[in-house]
A and B are shown apart, each in its own frame.
Chain A
Amino acid sequence: MSIKIRYFASLKDHLGRSEDELVSGGLLSVHDVWQRVNATQPLPSNVLVAVNMDYVNLDTLVKDGDEVAFFPPVTGG
């Protein structure tokens, strides 16, 4: 089991990929997850985060099997 990480829209373009995968080996916060897979990229200040398709804060804990998504402010409608 691993954590699936997804990126959307301008953040996906900026990073040059739409997904990552991470074997956590324990509890990690959403912010920890970003740092593990984007060590050289600071987390953009306006980024929104979802775990299993619900909005969460950066200190929310995630576990193997979760889907974590990072994306810019939404602009639908």
Chain B
Amino acid sequence: MTIIIRSEAFNPWQEIQHYQDNVTGYGATNIFIGTMRDFNDGDTVKAMTLEHYEGMTEKQLKKIVEQASQQWAVLDALIVHRVGDILPNEPIVLVSVWTMHRGDAFDACRFMMEALKSHAPFWKKELLITDEERWVTHNTDGYQPK
């Protein structure tokens, strides 16, 4: 189980490939990648800064991985999250889960991502096309039915 906070852009596919070389016994991998949008709340966003509470972020993410591992048969998990200045189309977060069977992979990955959104102390500040800066005040509800 590995948690990485990155201040530079990362390639999630390379991260997964590299990490998976050392995972054994799995039959299912579930991946979530969150990418920065160039729009939010009806405005064009040209950049974003992600602030975090160093130390608490790692502590909370570790707790989330432990909770997932207690509920599902998780063989291994990798979380990578960006901080600092981010541009549109750059990955913000990667959650990857390896299990023996698909049900555990789907459910554990979903749980970890939703728990990260509500508990990991990260905050987004957007820079709009108008050069106005604003803090993002809330997340969308990932479980809201369409």
Contact = CB atoms under 8 A, between A and B. Distances in A.
Contacts of A28: none
A77 B116 contact: yes
Contacts of A55: 119
Q: Interface size for chain A: under 10, 10 to 19, 20 to 34, or 35 or more residues?
A: 10 to 19
B85 to A, nearest CB: 15
Contacts of B92: 76-77
Given A8-B123, A9-B123, A71-B121, A76 B50 contact: yes
Interface in B62-94: 81, 92-93
B53 interface: yes
Contacts, number: 73
A6 B51 CA distance: 14
Nearest to B133: A13
A71 B120 contact: no
Interface residues of B, number: 28
A8 B122 CA distance: 9
A9 B55 contact: no
A69 B53 CA distance: 9
B117 A53 contact: no
Interface string B134-145: 011111000000
A41 interface: no
Contacts of A75: 122-124, 135-139
B129 interface: no
Given A69-B121, A71-B123, 6 more contacts: A8-B123, A13-B135, A53-B55, A72-B123, A72-B137, A74-B121
Interface of A: 6, 8-10, 13, 50, 53-55, 69, 71-77
